[in-house]
Structure 1
């Protein structure tokens, strides 16, 4: 096994949503060299990845790391946490639902010590995003989902929204509403406008200062004292390589693999590292803590007639409800699925309707109060980390009640015309499950994830001992090392977070360039 060495100005670990952005922006300067390292293959010739309608076929396959949660005391212990193993990361894996972040969410970040991440600043970076984010095209809005939007508006007493992002781009957000979603896609072809499509495809094999190493797994950050100097990795052929960074190493491997890589490199809570045989290099207690998600449950019906086939990705509309009048943000969200989203209902013994005759609603918790942690069980990089989300363990029972309320509202929507005419019968949990206690038991056992893990390397102020990175995304107590992905979120944004991750990538590139310019000034 040979050990080759390569040297670049910047080494970015993770060619996903944020990493793609940073690699593009830094290599706009032809004098800056970047090596982007991605654990999965190129997506440019993968039709089932590029065609958005096929997103479900990518989950739990060869392009999925397939992480799973630990035993959950109050929730479902059998959840697959899909993480993409392909260029573009989860933007090549997910439905590309795109919401600008809410002003109140970012106010919370600033209050938590994330100086410089205020709404005006973040929205200015969201304006730069290259992905083609547009409302779902009229041709892709089928009659059943149109009827569902009408019924959701009537049953929940909320307005129909034509473009959710128009409400957040310059204001604060929205309190409630229902309507078709905005997504990052080409409405003419149905292809993704993922981070890799928008930021990497136009410059790969064009910019000589950008090197992309594919199917290469990074297992350690290298240090000289407190200075990060590069990474060690293994190629798909089993070859060990060392990739050196003259200026910085940027971890953009996601909320699971960025903290995992830090811990494998000896950065984390010292006693936890020692317990699995890792020699601590830098004691940093917050690594892996503050694990968050958007948990959801499901209610499923059988339809009277076949579900229409014109759809972008089988989940084309959403409903937002505000129960708490003291907060201007919605606190309950629903997607409609035009498919039997039945992994967990089958496990509970429910039969699914015949193919083409199922529709679901998935009430989810926009601002879950439960917090978990990610930790290592071995010093072997091949062993997956433990993901203990601690679903439904918040002491006041807020998360549990949100799901119960969501199942009740979903039934109200299904009992309202014109959507009511599509419904033949409720399949899961079934009409006999009525009481709050029964709905809670079912809702928690059938719970799933919206695939939004975050917070495991959270940013905060200098005096915050639990913060992993400072507001400039630099790892505390170390030099030449940043984290730039959803792991740095102090709290998870209310809606789907992809736009926030893209904006974070845009801002991270600016912060890196600003700090480099400051260093040059100081050296003069």
Structure 2
């Protein structure tokens, strides 16, 4: 890329080089007649094995590649928990365990029925197919037809983990049969090896490596890494509504503020925490809150920063009686669904880890072991909802993230059941040669009250904050974004990332966030 002089102007400016932003920028720049600038506050991941080697993903938590957001004190949750948000090109697709799911049909159809017109499964599934190359799908009559020539490689994790093999047999023994994933049929009760967006050599097929790396030579695509957005630029002088004209950035040395302008549109893809933060710093958000922190109100948008949803995660951990694997694709290779009766989607999911995961346990003195495995129950349809708010009007200051974990009784009940189901699986005959001492929560936690006290103090998250700038019907004041991802009340701005989900999907949302980026680029290119 030739040296860039500021102020700089492009047809499209994408603020946030994460999971959706990379997809948006790559698809828009397929048109050689337009210029696109992709802005990422973190470094590039090109040639960086710390990022690209998927097996090393847990090293990234609380590292220099992590914004590492604390949360506000929780009345019924773990106040010490931290939200990992990626500070690197590719966003959380460069930072996560790469578990790859299409959203269940029921989730997407609920989005459409709730006011996000055009986002039903029938309308979204073609964009999943467009983004992926699925290497080893299961052929079933119900399958929606997997993609074969998209940029993102999706494949099934291998079975080179004997404890994992025994775990799947144990699941069968307690009524959770081995069931293929990503077939177009929602798995209500069942287990299997995960599919991951990773190449056969073990490297990530992240949004950056799939969409951006092959296209860095495009003369119409400029990728700025290390530039952090301070605010969106707003023109309030033109007749009609305010117009977003680009962004003011801080240079990598933080010494200078520079402007990047968009002739056509600006796309905000900064994620469910930094997205609403940047909107509020730009004067778009709940008016009373903006005035409290000294930000001039441009648009009173009460839904910005509301509706924060996540998948809270518990942990049941055992010492292993046999040596656990010393190599793995990404150490979290099996998923288990154990939904309650009477639901269309499962309300309980587990990730199986072939390594200890004591991130939130050591402060309370729980024993650990280097040779351990765990099951992490998570509430897939949590009803507790929180907020993202500004702490100050300074762009460098971390926002206030308040998930309000377990403020809804439903989430407590599902998580308690999750611990009991995990113990039931561990007690099955197939795991007799593997399960040693239960390290956490341990034998002392037996009643519902004891189990929830353990969860309340030690729970984690599956790192899926979403829904804070949700899309919805034009007359829904709490939905800041239209169904074509345009921010209401201004011109020239769309939002494309996990924040626009009306409700968090049941499964890991990374591939759905890429799909949102694909759809955003499609809306723009079709002029809708």
Q: Would the TM-score normalized by the shorter structure come out above 0.5?
A: yes
Output aligned runs, 1:99-114, within 5 Å: 99-114=101-116
Contact kept, 8 Å, 1:3 with 1:241, in 2: the verdict is no
Give 1:90's aligned residue. 92
User: Are 2:388 and 1:388 equivalent residues in the alignment?
Assistant: no
**TM-score in terms of structure 2 length:** 0.93
For residue 153 of structure 1, report the CA deviation from its aligned partner.
2.3
Change (3 A) 1:42 1:3: closer
TM normalised by structure 1 equals 0.94
Verify the 8 A CA contact 2:54 2:329 in the aligned structure 1: yes
Which of 481, 486, 510 is the matching residue for 1:498? 510
Distance in 1 separating the partners of 2:286 and 2:447: 44
Residue of structure 1 aligned with 2:167, choices 148, 154, 170: 148
1:231 pairs with 2:247? yes
3-state SS of 1:128 partner:
helix
Q: Quote how far apart the aligned CAs of 1:239 are.
A: 2.5
Counterpart-to-counterpart distance in 1, 2:64 and 2:436: 37
Deviations 1:306-362 (A, max 9, x none): 212242111100110111x22221110001111111011112211211x2x111110
RMSD (Å) for aligned C-alpha atoms: 1.2
Shift of 1:173: 1.8
Query: Which of 429, 434, 440 is residue 428 of structure 1 equivalent to?
Result: 440
SS of 1:410 mapped into structure 2 = helix
Per-residue Cα deviation, 1:221-256 (whole angstroms, up to 9, x for no partner): 111121111110011122221000001110001001
| Distance in 1 of aligned mates of 2:176 and 2:354 | 22
Q: 1:124 is matched with which residue?
A: 126
Residue 210 (structure 2) pairs with residue 173 (structure 1)? no
1:120-519 aligned within 5 A: 120-129=122-131, 130-138=151-159, 141-155=160-174, 157-161=175-179, 163-166=180-183, 168=184, 172-187=185-200, 189-204=201-216, 206-225=217-236, 226-237=242-253, 238-323=255-340, 325-353=341-369, 355=370, 357-394=371-408, 397-515=409-527
Summarize deviations over 1:275-294 as a string: whole Å, max 9, x none: 00111111111000000000
d(CA) in 1 for partners of 2:111, 2:345: 15
What CA distance in whole angstroms lies between the structure 2 residues aligned with 1:3 and 1:29? 23
Cα distance between partner residues in 2 of 1:310 and 1:212: 34
CA distance in 2, matches of 1:287, 1:328: 30
Contact 1:114 1:471 in 2 (8 A): yes
What SS does the corresponding residue of 2:130 show, helix, strand or coil? Answer: coil
Residue 521 of structure 1: aligned partner: none
Q: What is the rounded CA distance, in whole Å, between the counterparts of 1:55 and 1:371 in structure 2?
A: 28
Separation in 1, partners of 2:519, 2:243: 23
* Deviation for aligned residue 1:3: 9.2
Residues 136 and 181 in structure 1, CA contact (< 8 A), matched pair in contact too: yes
CA contact (8 A) 2:76 2:406 kept: yes
Is the 1:336–1:362 Cα contact (8 Å) retained in structure 2? Answer: yes
| Deviation at residue 176 of structure 1 after TM alignment | 1.8
Partner SS, residue 343 of structure 1 = coil
Distance in 2, matches of 1:347 and 1:99, equals: 34
CA distance in 2, matches of 1:255, 1:153: 37
- Give the secondary-structure state (helix, strand or coil) at the position aligned to 1:246: strand
Question: Are 1:234 and 1:241, in contact at CA under 8 Å, matched by a contact in 2?
Answer: yes
- Say whether the 8 Å CA contact 1:289–1:373 is kept in structure 2: yes
SS of the residue 2:352 aligns to:
strand
Distance 1:487 1:347 in 2: 32
1:293 partner SS? coil
Question: Per-residue displacement from partner, 1:354-385 (whole Å, max 9, x unpaired)?
Answer: x2x11111000000000000001101111100
The Cα of 1:420 is off from its aligned counterpart by 2.5
Match of 1:522 in 2: none
C-alpha distance in 2, partners of 1:404/1:104? 25
Measured in 2, the distance between the counterparts of 1:26 and 1:48 equals 29
Query: What is the count of residue pairs matched by the alignment?
Result: 500
Q: Is the 8 A contact 1:297 1:444 kept in 2?
A: no
Listed as ranges, the gaps of 5+ residues in structure 2 are: 132-150, 237-241
| Distance apart, 1:4 and its partner CA | 2.5
Single out whichever of 504-513 and 305-314 deviates more from structure 2.
305-314
CA contact (8 A) 2:73 2:79 kept: yes
